[in-house]
Amino acid sequence: MKSRPSQPSLAGFTLIELVISAALASMILVSAYLCLNSAIASRKLIEPRVDVLQSARVAMAIMTADLRAACPLSKDFQFLGVARKLGEVEADNLDFATHNYTPHRSREGDYCQVSVFLEKDPRSGQYVLWRRRNPTIAPDPLSGGTREELARGLRGVQFEYYDGFDWYDSWGEIPGAGKEKSSLRDQSNLNGMPEAVRITLAFDLKSSSKSVAPAEQATAERPLVFRSIVRLNLAASNLSGGSGNDDSSAPTLDGQGPAPARARGGGVN
For the cut 60, the answer to whether the pLDDT of residue 16 exceeds it is: yes
Residue 234: the pLDDT is 65
- Identify the pLDDT of residue 11: 64
CA dist 164 and 36 (Å) reads 54
pLDDT value at residue 127? 93
Residue 213 CB partners (closer than 8 Å, separation 6+): 41, 44
According to DSSP, the residues that pair with 167 across neighbouring strands are: 162
Q: For residue range 157-184, what is the model confidence (pLDDT) as tens digits?
A: 999 999 888 899 999 876 555 445 444 4
Give the helix/strand (H/E) hosting 177: none
Report which of residues 238 and 77 the model is more confident about: 77
What does the alpha-carbon distance between residue 203 and residue 201 come to, in Å, rounded to a whole number? 6
Q: What angle do CA 225, 201, 179 make, to 5 degrees?
A: 130
Q: What is the dihedral of CA 98, 99, 104, 106, to 10 degrees?
A: 110
Predicted local confidence at residue 131, as pLDDT: 94
Q: Is the pLDDT of residue 245 over 80?
A: no
pLDDT at site 250: 37
* Mean pLDDT on 13-32: 87
Q: What angle do CA 79, 252, 70 make, to 5 degrees?
A: 25
pLDDT in tens, 181-214: 444 445 667 778 899 999 999 998 775 554 444 4
The DSSP call for residue 91 is B
**pTM of the predicted model, to two decimals?**
0.67
- Band (pLDDT 50/70/90 cuts) for residue 96 is very high
pLDDT in tens, 112-163: 999 999 999 888 889 999 999 998 887 788 888 899 999 999 999 999 999 8
String of b and e for 35-61 (b: at least 16 CB within 10 Å)?
eeeeeeeeeebeebeebbeebbeebbe
Across the chain, what does the average pLDDT equal? 76
User: How many C-beta neighbours within 10 Å does residue 260 have?
Assistant: 14
Q: What is the pLDDT of residue 260?
A: 36
Q: Which of 81, 41, 93, 65 is nearest to 192 (CA)?
A: 81
Closest CA to 161 of 200, 122, 129, 126: 200
DSSP 142: T
